């Protein structure tokens, strides 16, 4: 107890900044909290290039928190601005800051430490990230990740500090009042017309594709979503698209990621062979069951979750 009472005085005497209490916006509810007395965190300090990303090893006490900010009209960028100001006022230097495109898209999202759904939701078409460090040998590091769903903002904060220096921030730990219906984890526009989806939210859900559980083979016949996507690519010759496969939650994560990538590849092959799309304009990736559209507790929900989305990578 005495050591903790003297800690702020000792830090000041040594010239080390007081620990920042990174607080969420008013109304944010704590959904997840974890503490490690001594751990290591690969803190991103650069974008993912598809193979790897630059990180720095931050070691010490690690605190991870995830929040849900319901009923807000703020964009993910606007939410992030508040955290950036807090960190700078606390003496942190920003090491790296990016949005979904400059971070490296799905490769970045799935190669860094993120609390799992549903406590932390990350929309691949709408997220912002920053990492920061108090200069010198402070041992203080932090990262903030912000994303949105149609009805809420989602925030993850990771703080690393030298052992014995963590103070618990004052936060609202009440459980959020969630809607009765399953929350759709994509913007509504992404479920509509392909042109509107691509130009407004940068993603399009191919809702009519059919995959059986455990299968990577796209069902036979024609699909309106493929024809519409091919037409969009024909009329936007500079556009490139990443096809991202998704599964239901039956089975483990690793095999589901493999299945989902196989489904994306199947869709890519169909677009190339049946619609003449240049394969150089298409990428194929998979993220398993980590971003569901609907509940996995019903057959209908699992069917919706077995899908492929088209993410607009660039129009340049």
Angle at which helix 224-235 crosses helix 253-275, to 10 degrees, equals 70
Above 90 in pLDDT, residue 21? no
Q: Which of 84-88, 201-205, 227-231, 272-276 has the lowest mean pLDDT?
A: 201-205
Q: Which of 14-23, 45-54, 208-217, 234-243 has the lowest mean pLDDT?
A: 14-23
Q: Does 22 lie in the same domain as 127? A: yes
Query: 143 lies in which domain range?
Result: 14-161
Centre a 10 Å sphere on the Cβ of residue 2 and count the other Cβ atoms it contains: 6
Q: Which of 158-162, 180-184, 226-230 has the lowest mean pLDDT?
A: 180-184
The last residue of one of the domains, among 111, 145, 161, is 161
Alpha-carbon gap, residue 121 to 184, rounded angstroms: 11
Q: Does 21 lie in the same domain as 141? A: yes
Q: Does 247 lie in the same domain as 192? A: yes
Report pLDDT for 212.
Answer: 66
Q: Mean pLDDT throughout 127-156? A: 91
Q: Does 197 lie in the same domain as 108? A: no
The last residue of one of the domains, among 161, 177, 200, is 161
Q: Does 143 lie in the same domain as 194? A: no
Q: Does 252 lie in the same domain as 131? A: no
Q: Does 232 lie in the same domain as 149? A: no
DSSP, collapsed to helix, strand or coil, labels residue 43 as: strand
Question: What is the Cα Rg of the chain in Å?
Answer: 21
Q: Which of 7-11, 72-76, 147-151 has the lowest mean pLDDT?
A: 7-11
pTM above 0.75, yes or no: no
- Give the C-alpha distances (Å, rounded to integers) separating 42 from 56, 127, 134, 279: 6, 19, 16, 34
Q: Does 27 lie in the same domain as 157? A: yes
What does the pLDDT look like over 71-91, one tens digit per residue?
777 788 888 988 998 999 889
DSSP, collapsed to helix, strand or coil, labels residue 92 as: coil
DSSP sequence for 257-270: HHHHHHHHHHHHHH
275's enclosing H/E stretch is helix 253-275
Q: Which of 43, 67, 53 is nearest to 102 (CA)?
A: 53
Alpha-carbon gap, residue 307 to 273, rounded angstroms: 20
Beta strand extents in 76-149 (DSSP E only): 93-99, 127-133, 141-148
Phi and psi at residue 7, in whole multiples of 5°?
Answer: -55, -50
DSSP, collapsed to helix, strand or coil, labels residue 175 as: coil
Above 50 in pLDDT, residue 18? no
Alpha-carbon gap, residue 238 to 88, rounded angstroms: 39
Longest dimension (CA), the chain: 73
The verdict on residue 215 lying in a domain is: yes
The last residue of one of the domains, among 122, 145, 161, is 161
129 strand-pairing partners: 98, 145
- Our separate counts of H helices and E strands in the chain read 8, 10
Q: Which of 2, 7, 6, 1 is nearest to 161 (CA)?
A: 7
pLDDT band at 188 (very low <50, low <70, confident <90, very high): low
Cis peptide upstream of residue 118 (ω within 30 degrees of 0): yes
The verdict on residue 41 lying in a domain is: yes
Share of the chain above pLDDT 70, in %: 83
Report pLDDT for 165.
Answer: 59
Token pair, residue 67, equals: 């929040």
Q: Which of 140-144, 183-187, 240-244 has the lowest mean pLDDT?
A: 183-187
Instruction: Give the count of domains, the chain.
Output: 2
Exposed / middle / buried, residue 276 (Cβ in 10 Å: 0-12, 13-18, 19+): exposed
Report pLDDT for 248.
Answer: 84
């Amino acid at each position: 107890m005495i050591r903790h009472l003297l800690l702020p005085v000792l830090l000041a005497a040594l010239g080390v900044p007081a620990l920042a209490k990174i607080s969420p916006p008013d109304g944010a509810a704590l959904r997840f909290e974890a503490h490690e007395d001594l751990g290591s965190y690969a803190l991103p300090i650069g974008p993912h290039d598809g193979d790897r990303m630059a990180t720095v090893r931050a070691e010490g006490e690690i605190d991870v928190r995830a929040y849900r900010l319901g009923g807000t009209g703020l964009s993910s960028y606007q939410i992030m601005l508040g955290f950036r100001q807090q960190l700078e006022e606390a003496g942190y230097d920003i090491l790296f800051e990016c949005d979904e495109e400059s971070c490296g898209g799905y490769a970045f999202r799935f190669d860094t430490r993120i609390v799992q759904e549903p406590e932390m939701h990350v929309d691949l078409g709408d997220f912002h990230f920053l990492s920061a460090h108090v200069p010198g040998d402070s041992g203080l590091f932090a990262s903030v990740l912000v994303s949105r769903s149609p009805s809420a903002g989602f925030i993850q904060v990771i703080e690393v500090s030298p052992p014995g220096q963590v103070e618990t921030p004052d936060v609202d730990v009440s459980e959020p009042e969630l809607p009765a219906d399953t929350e759709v984890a994509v913007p509504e526009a992404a479920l509509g017309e392909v042109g509107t989806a691509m130009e407004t939210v940068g993603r399009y859900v191919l809702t009519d594709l059919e995959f059986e559980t455990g299968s990577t083979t796209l069902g036979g016949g024609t699909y309106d979503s493929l024809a519409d996507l091919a037409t969009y690519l024909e009329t936007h010759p500079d556009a490139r698209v990443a096809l991202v496969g998704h599964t239901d939650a039956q089975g483990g994560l690793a095999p589901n990621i493999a299945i989902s990538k196989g489904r994306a590849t199947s869709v890519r092959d169909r677009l190339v062979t049946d619609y003449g799309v240049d394969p150089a304009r298409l990428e194929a990736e998979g993220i398993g069951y980590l971003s569901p559209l609907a509940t996995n507790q019903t057959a209908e929900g699992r069917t919706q979750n077995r899908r492929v989305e088209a993410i607009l990578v660039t129009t340049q």
